[in-house]
Amino acid sequence: MSSDAQDPIQNNQVETSRYDDLTQEEKEDIYRRARKKAIAKTAFMVHASAFLLVMSLLILINLVASPGTWWFVYPLLIWGAGLGFHWALGVRFIDAYRKLEDKEIAKEIERTLSES
């Protein structure tokens, strides 16, 4: 953890009853994982906000410029699918992804150590 000013534990933002019994390494691991999840959720919120803003503008432009043709549906569906994947892989199933990532990292470490 970089500094006490950024540490939510030191700033009493987190219930510490179970936290106090952990080792420093466990605390750092919990903090690192929580930070990654928070960053992933924030990135999704930014993506969703941009989606809503741009789609609103595209719908408005479509309705004003060519009301007989609903072309805004195509970017809505394509970008919406991308946003759905971002939510599924970046927010909803992030724990499963992290476990797979940790498993692969462990395999690579083992392989690297065995080659040395």
- 99 by Cβ neighbours in 10 Å (0-12 / 13-18 / 19+) ranks as exposed
Tokens of 32: 């690192």
Sequence-ordered list of residues with C-beta below 8 angstroms from that of 40, at least 6 positions apart, any chain: 90, 91, 94
Using an 8 Å Cβ cutoff, are 1 and 7 in contact? yes
Name the band, by pLDDT with cuts 50, 70 and 90, for residue 19: confident
Tell me what pLDDT residue 42 has: 95
- Which of residues 17 and 32 earns the better pLDDT score? 32
Q: Break the chain into its structural domains and give their ranges.
A: 4-115
Tell me what pLDDT residue 61 has: 97
| Res 1 pLDDT > 60 | no
pTM value is: 0.68
Tell me what pLDDT residue 46 has: 97
Sequence-ordered list of residues with C-beta below 8 angstroms from that of 28, at least 6 positions apart, any chain: 1
- pLDDT tens by residue, 77-115: 999 999 999 999 888 888 788 888 888 998 998 888 888
Sequence-ordered list of residues with C-beta below 8 angstroms from that of 47, at least 6 positions apart, any chain: 83, 86
- pLDDT tens by residue, 46-87: 999 999 999 999 999 999 999 999 999 999 999 999 999 999
- Which of residues 12 and 76 earns the better pLDDT score? 76
